[in-house]
Amino acid sequence: MLKKPLIIGNWKMNKTPEESDDFLQKVLDYEAEAKPNCEIAVSVPFICLSTCIDKSKSSPIKIGAQNCYFEENGAFTGEISASMLSRIGADFVILGHSERRRYFSETSEIINLKVRSAIKNGLDVVICVGESLSEKEKLIADEIILMQTKIALFGVDINSLSKVSIAYEPLWAIGSGDIEKIEKINEMCEKIHRVVDQIYNKGASATMKVLYGGSVNIKNLSKILSKANTDGVLIGSASLVSDEFLKIIEFASKHT
């Protein structure tokens, strides 16, 4: 790993503003004291954004949302636009998470519109790609992941790649307690880098990060981060408990 690792906690539909305040205070205290050698980011529910953004203003910790809509404004009840996130001070947004694709029927084309809107409004984006168990068993995982990557980046200027992270998350691994084989993780991250270079030009992918997500925890972290093609991790349930999240940050900082 050549880049400072990016450690992102994705809280999903968990925590109130009060709970997020307590959690973030512990992370801020640790960061101020330990000065970890990694980038720290937390993706929080919409109702926690203002609390977390205000609390982290004087720190390097990045605060992001878990979704946004691609229109700037209008009659879209229940949606939040990228421009709204930008105006309240969010740093980034996760887009295309498998749960959005699965439960809310988001297509790769819709995700691409969201990616372009988020970048246009100054947000960094974490684009999630990954195969289902059925696709894995049919030996078409590579094709699915590379297609999702290509569509997500359609119309994204090469100068915006530095604002992009792509998270490889096998759908079958999320919440299962099992991760993909380390060799396969490294291979897939390498293929994502390669296809981005094909879309733009050789070396273009060096400006972006490729992450792994799916049942990441302190026990498997060293194996994941030991591979040269993995620039960090997107963490789900292990990011909900502050002590566990801080152990992951500490480990990533000392072993990269």
Q: What are phi and psi of 44, to 5 degrees?
A: -120, 160
Identify the active-site residue in 97, 99, 135, 193. 97
User: Would you list the DSSP string of 143-194?
Assistant: HHHHHHHHHHTTT--GGGGGGEEEEE--GGGTTTS----HHHHHHHHHHHHH
Cross-strand pairs, 212:
168, 233
Residues 239/244/247/251 CA torsion (nearest 10 deg): -60
Q: Is 193 tagged catalytic?
A: no
Q: What are phi and psi of 53, to 5 degrees?
A: -65, -45
Q: Is 71 tagged catalytic?
A: no
Locate 163 and state its tokens: 């604002």
Longest dimension (CA), the chain: 49
Identify the active-site residue in 39, 106, 131, 169. 169
User: Would you list the DSSP string of 51-66?
Assistant: HHHHHTTTSS-EEEES
At 19 the three-state DSSP class reads: helix
CB 190 within 8 A of CB 182: no
Report the distance separating Cα 205 and Cα 243, nearest Å. Answer: 33
Which secondary structure element, helix H or strand E, spans residue 93, and what is its range?
A: strand 92-95
Which residues are part of the catalytic machinery? 97, 169
